[in-house]
Structure formats: structure tokens, C-alpha cells
Amino acid sequence: MSARGVGHLFAAVATLALCACGDSATGSSKTEQSSAERISAGLDVCAQGSNEFAQRVCENRSLAALDNQVRETLVTESASVSDAGAAMLVQNQTRWREAQRISCGIIDPDAQPTTEQQQCLEAEFRARAQDATNAVQDVGGYTFQRMELVDATPVTAEIAEASGLGDGAPNAVVRNIRFPRIDGEQTPEIRRFNELVAQEPQFRLSDATNESVDYTIAYAGPELISVRFIVSQDTLGAANVTNTVKAVTVLMNEGRALLATDVFRAGTRWEDFITTRAVQTIARQYADYPNFPPRRDVYETATKPHLWLITEQGLLLLFPPLSFGGSHADGGTEVTIPWADLRPYLNPAAPTPIRPSA
């Protein structure tokens, strides 16, 4: 599939994720449609009407056993989500399985895997069985479902040659884009959160670039939700993998992204304080580097709200690679400043957990 074709697929899936709304456009419906029996049947590779590769998995004793572990976990997870959410679990798994087929080098879905391909599939299925345990998370009173836009495109001879890898090129270019979706009743605030986080994963859909976007929920409460996104892009033949990180914090009552003024009072010189604290911490982390890090670089990064994670303990400043005067080899780092230390600078009207205690 070309990058354009993949783009259409990803756009369609993202739209479907946002429109997964159930009865009366609420997304909260939980009926017999998403019963354990029906979801188990939907995930059954041996079911009548399954595609060619699912049938090959069914006939493969080792893969069938591993796939069944994934199925049992997802059936358990489906009990926590609506009909729409349960349907998404089935669709995510079906797309994932097809992507692994291509990633492991099986172009013909009806073909039997070679020994090497079998080992590749078994490793991926084992990892998936563990990964499936986090498909649904209950945090801060919300049910977060992991959305997955996964695809694998075979590496052609032309792409392999252009990359300089030749016969050493991988079987496929893989894209695995993840973001959270709040399941259940789709209030205007929750719909807005789902829209904002679905827009955040940025991907290039290049014919020669592996792309990965994953996330963790740093904090979730009635007033705000803060999410960390980790992005990786690995272009075939490139000297370095491009890694970065960013935060998306949504004020739930207003359905918008966090601003600096939501956290700090104007005129308090909070910028200087957090920069000084970050410089001191990073200097300790890289003690072998003289006169490091450059204050200007730290200031420019530390004062950007899209690099702030809100946690229960404090403000976590994210420093992606190359953002604080270091090199690719230095990677990224982070600095946490406790809320108690920030108290003189905080906006008294800030949402919990930022708001200063009485």
C-alpha cells in the first residue's frame, strides 16, 4: 500500500474512533452486542468468514494458542467498555494481526510461514498478549481505551536500494500510532478531549520510515487530564532514529489545551525560577559536561506548555533530544518541580492538582 493509501486508511480509522458513539450519540451503550460471547466470537481466528491469514493462524497450533491468549485478555477488557469500544477492540486486533503478517515477511496471506517467519510471528504474538492487558485503563474516574492505527507496508526493491540497505533492508515499514479515547457517555467535554488527543499524533506516512507514537496518562481528574506522547521515526538508512516527546493537557471544564496562564500568575517571574531549577537539575544529570546546559536553550524549552506534564507530585518539564544543548547521543531528559516549591508562582484559580493548598 502506498503512503497515500495508508493515509486514507489512517484518516478513516481516526474518524471512526471519534465517531464511535453508540446509541443516541452518547457512546455509553452497553448491550448484548458487546457481550463476552460476541466479542470472543469476533476475535476468533477460526470463525467462519475469517480472512486468509486468520485461517492460517487457526491451523497453526503455536500461533493459535498465542492468539487465544490475546483473545481472552481482550474479552476481559471488553467488559469495561461500551458496544462501540468493544467493536474497536476487535477492529484493532484484526488490523494488528494483518500488520504482523507483512512485518514478518509474509506477503501472500494464504502462504505457510517459513521457520524464520514463524519465529517472528510467535515473538510478536507473545508481546501482544502482554500488551493487550493495557488496552483499557481506568484512571481518575475515566475509562481510557487505546486507539491503534497500525499498518505495515512491504519494502520494495526500489525502496531498499534507495535507502542504501539493499538486501539488509527490513521486510516492511511499520507504523503503529496510538492515542487514548475516553469511552462511555460522550459529554461535550469528553468529546472535545477525544478530538484533541486524536489530532496530536503527527505522522509522515513516508514509504521508507517506521513510525511509532505511544502515550501514557500522567494525570486524570475531573478538572484536567495530562497525557505524555512519545514519538519515534526511523527512516531506512538514516544515521539516527528521530525521537521526541510532548504533552497534551486538556482542561476538561473548558475543553481546551492548557496555557501557561492557567498554571502561573503573570509578573511573578516564574519563567526564571523553573529555568534555574531545570539548569541545576540537568547540570547534575550531565556532571561530566563543563558549563552545561546552556541557559538559553533550557529557558526556551522549559517555558513551553506543550512540554509540561501535570502530575500529582508536581510540574514535569519534558526536554526532548537536542532541546537543551545536548546531542542525539545524549537523548532527552526531564525535570520535576514539586508544587510546594512552585507555590509562590501558581495561579490561585488553577485546576487541581496545580491549585495551591489552603
pLDDT in tens, 105-160: 999 999 999 999 999 999 999 999 999 999 999 999 999 999 999 999 999 999 99
HSE, CB side, 13 Å, CA atoms: give it for residue 98.
Answer: 14
- The alpha carbon of 264 is separated from its chain's Cα centroid by a whole number of angstroms, namely 28
Which of the four pLDDT bands, split at 50, 70 and 90, describes residue 329? confident
Question: Averaged over 33-48, what is the pLDDT?
Answer: 92
Q: In the 3-class helix/strand/coil scheme, how is 184-244 assigned residue by residue?
A: CCCCHHHHHHHHHHHHCCCCCCCCCEEEEEEEEEEEECCCEEEEEEEEEEEECCCCCCEEE
> C-alpha distances in angstroms, 273 versus 268, 304, 341?
9, 14, 10
User: What confidence score (pLDDT) does residue 21 get?
Assistant: 45
pLDDT greater at residue 4 or residue 143? 143
Separation of alpha carbons 234 and 225, rounded Å: 30
Contacts of 209 (CB under 8 A, 6+ apart): 173, 233, 234, 235, 236
The C-alpha atoms of residue 324 and residue 166 are separated, in whole angstroms, by 36
The pLDDT, as a whole number, for residue 69 is 97
What is the per-residue pLDDT for 157? 92
Alpha-carbon distance values, 268 to 80, 253, 318, 336 (Å): 45, 26, 22, 19
Report pLDDT for 22. Answer: 41
Q: What percent of the chain has pLDDT over 90?
A: 78
pLDDT at 24: 40
Q: What is the mean pLDDT of residues 10-30?
A: 52
pLDDT value for 26: 46
pLDDT reported for residue 23: 40
Q: What is the pLDDT of residue 17?
A: 54
Q: Would you state the pLDDT for residue 7?
A: 52
Distances (CA, A) of 148 to 38, 168, 171, 180: 21, 28, 21, 9
Q: Please state whether the predicted TM-score (pTM) of the whole model is above 0.75.
A: yes
Q: Percentage of the chain surpassing pLDDT 70?
A: 90
Map out the domains of the chain as residue ranges: 3-257, 260-345
State how far the Cα of 68 lies from the Cα of 45, in Å rounded to an integer.
9
pLDDT value at 79 more than 70: yes
User: What confidence tens digit (pLDDT) does each residue in 208-230 have?
Assistant: 899 999 999 999 999 999 999 99
DSSP assignment string, 4-23: HHHHHHHHHHHHHHHH---G
Cα separation of 113 and 56, whole Å? 9
Quote the pLDDT of residue 202. Answer: 63
Res. 36: pLDDT tops 70: yes
- For domain 260-345, the question of CATH label 3.90.640.20 is answered with yes
pLDDT band for position 12 (cuts 50, 70, 90): very low
| pLDDT given at position 264 | 98
- Higher-pLDDT residue of 17 and 250 is 250
267-314 pLDDT, tens digit each: 999 999 999 999 999 999 999 999 899 999 999 999 999 999 999 999
> Residue 135: what are its φ and ψ, rounded to 5°?
-65, -30
Question: What DSSP designation does 346 have?
Answer: B
The radius of gyration computed from the CA coordinates of the chain, to the nearest angstrom, equals: 23
Q: By the 8 A CB rule, do 246 and 318 touch?
A: yes
Mean pLDDT rounded to a whole number for the chain: 90
